Structure 1
Amino acid sequence: MILVTGVTGTVGGEVMRRLPRGVGVRVMARDPGRVAGVPAGVEVVAGDYGDVVSLGRALAGVRRAFLVTTRVGGGDDAAFLAAARRAGVGHVVKLSAAAVLDRGAGDVITCWQRVVEEQVRGCGLEWTLLRPRAFMSNCLSWAASVRGERTVRALYGTSPHACVDPRDVAEVAVRVLTQEGHAGRAYTLTGPQAVTAVGQSAVLGRLLGAEVRFVELSTAQARAVWAERYPQPVVQALLDSAGRQRAGAKARVEDTVREVTGRPARSFAQWAADHLEAFTPPAGPVAAGGPVPPGEPA
């Protein structure tokens, strides 16, 4: 039995849908009613990292688990790993982030991720770490302004980042969960080339058949927008992350997706073409609109 967490988020749901038929799959969510697109034969259970009893039920009979957590500093990983040991789980695959390798990254999110990685490595179970760069799907935060104004607003528009398609991250996770030979490994996952927000805007314009203009946000503007959505430590972490990206810390490309799956990583153009409906304006004139959140330089 394979347990998948984070199924209402960006990667976990893709993992759930890509696991092969015939493999016992269980997914855990705080609210099972929010889990969409569940394949036939997949078991959905209620579970909360803060509820030891629910974790025990979710992990009963599980051989391998895909672990996703988002509560910075909340202790969710330690609680899950302890429950996994008690349940006799053999292998935990943890979704982390490539920033843990950047010595210049000292923000609260990256420091938390490093602590979690240490917990995973010392948990007494077999483990694998997946360290993706920013997800291409972060660009969906531009969708409203592209539909309404054919405009992208973002911070540091010419800074390169080797963002990755979440589907590629999920496909790597599926290989690790269903094949041998990945224990004790840490995989950094990127797209096939570094891109910029300006370049991504141009790609969207070509696919839409209309110019998509890019507007550079100031640091103060980005801070104000993020402050409407996140607490101050997270806002500062996002700004620090964007600064490292501007300095080139996120431009390195890895071929890990090909090495694990046997095929190259998808390009941003491929991702955008597959999600073009989100950016396509409705019939009629393009309307003016207000500022929108920039893409998050995770």
Structure 2
Amino acid sequence: MILVTGATGTIGREVVRCLGPERDVRILARDPARVVGASPCADVVAGDYADEASLARALAGVSRAFLVTNRIGDDDERFVRAARAAGVRHVVKLSAAAVNDAGAQDLITRQQRATEGLLRASGLAWTLLRPRSFMSNTLAWAPSVREERVVRALNGTSRNACVDPRDVAEVAVRALTQEGHTGCAYTLTGPEPLSARDQTRELGRQLGIELAFEELGLDAARALLGRRYPPTVVEALLESARRQEENAKSAVAPTVLEVTGRPARSYADWVADHLSAFRGP
């Protein structure tokens, strides 16, 4: 059996979809009602990393697990301990590409490095997925695109080799269902580095409208992020953005092609499949 965590999030949702009905799948979610797109055959169970009894129930009979953690703290440690006790053989962990960047010292990246080390030392077989920024992050622009025909973002000209979440999920599913991926750390990117201005132009082109781009200052970006994240995470994200300004996130990796046998999807591909989110009334 395969256990999927993070199934209500960007990557976990796609992993569930890719696994399909032919696999024996269990899904762990804090709120099972929020799980969408799962096969009717999937076993959806309630639980939380902080609830060790719920972890033990979810991991019973599981041989492989997809692990996503978002909170700063001990969630990975609890999961790994429970997985080892349950006899899980292989954990596929969603990490981040920034762990390879010695200059990246923000709180989130340091946490990812620590959790990677924890998994490596656990005695479990492991695979690490290290994606760049998700193309789907630009869905945050949808309200202003629809209502004002404008995109507002920090660092409009710095580039990031952003990746389609579907590509990350497909690599994850191969690691969960095929041999030959244990002990591998996969850096996952799109086919080219893009800036926010590049993405704005592509959105406008496919929408058939002229989109304006407004550069956010640091204070405005901090206030905008503060609506969604606690202050410590906001500062980590802003520090990460500074690394992007220093061209630390533009390198392209061939990993999606090497693992899946097809090239990574472009941002234009992603926009074409999500255009309805940006269309106005």
TM-score (norm 2): 0.98
What is the CA-CA distance between 1:37 and the residue it aligns to? Answer: 1.6
Partner of 2:19: 19
Q: Which runs of 5+ in 2 are unaligned?
A: none
Residue 97 of structure 2 corresponds to residue 98 of structure 1: yes
Q: For the residues of structure 2 that align with 1:229 and 1:66, how far apart are their CA atoms? A: 25
Identity %: 64
Residue 82 of structure 2 corresponds to residue 83 of structure 1: yes
Runs of 4+ with deviation above 3 angstroms: none
Partner of 2:52: 52
Q: For the residues of structure 2 that align with 1:172 and 1:146, how far apart are their CA atoms? A: 31
Residue 213 of structure 2 corresponds to residue 214 of structure 1: yes
Query: Partner letter of residue 67 of structure 2?
Result: L
Q: For the residues of structure 2 that align with 1:205 and 1:48, how far apart are their CA atoms? A: 41
Query: Partner letter of residue 268 of structure 1?
Result: Y
Structure 1 residues 153-172: aligned runs within 5 Å? 153-172=152-171
Structure 1 residues 246-257: aligned runs within 5 Å? 246-257=245-256
Partner of 1:36: 36
Query: Partner letter of residue 186 of structure 2?
Result: Y
* CA offsets 1:14-50 (integer angstroms, 9 cap, x no match): 1011014322111110111111122131111111111
Partner of 2:117: 118
Would you tell me which structure has more helix in proportion to its own residues? Answer: 2
Q: RMSD between aligned alpha carbons?
A: 0.8
Query: Partner letter of residue 35 of structure 2?
Result: V
Query: Partner letter of residue 17 of structure 2?
Result: R
What is the CA-CA distance between 1:230 and the residue it aligns to? Answer: 2.0
Q: For the residues of structure 2 that align with 1:88 and 1:226, how far apart are their CA atoms? A: 40
Query: Partner letter of residue 66 of structure 1?
Result: F
Structure 1 residues 1-298: aligned runs within 5 Å? 1-72=1-72, 74-282=73-281
Secondary structure of 1:37's aligned partner:
coil
Secondary structure of 1:156's aligned partner:
coil
Secondary structure of 1:152's aligned partner:
strand
Partner of 1:295: none
Q: For the residues of structure 2 that align with 1:40 and 1:120, how far apart are their CA atoms? A: 31
* CA offsets 1:269-294 (integer angstroms, 9 cap, x no match): 00011000000010xxxxxxxxxxxx
* CA offsets 1:107-165 (integer angstroms, 9 cap, x no match): 11111111000011011100000000000000000000000011000011010100000
What is the CA-CA distance between 1:229 and the residue it aligns to? Answer: 2.5
* CA offsets 1:45-65 (integer angstroms, 9 cap, x no match): 111111111111100110100
Q: For the residues of structure 2 that align with 1:81 and 1:203, how far apart are their CA atoms? A: 42
Query: Partner letter of residue 140 of structure 1?
Result: L
Q: For the residues of structure 2 that align with 1:225 and 1:43, how far apart are their CA atoms? A: 37
Query: Partner letter of residue 225 of structure 1?
Result: L
Once the two structures are overlaid, the 10-residue window that deviates more, 31-40 or 146-155, is: 31-40
Give the aligned length.
281
Secondary structure of 2:179's aligned partner:
coil
Query: Partner letter of residue 90 of structure 1?
Result: R
TM-score (norm 1): 0.93
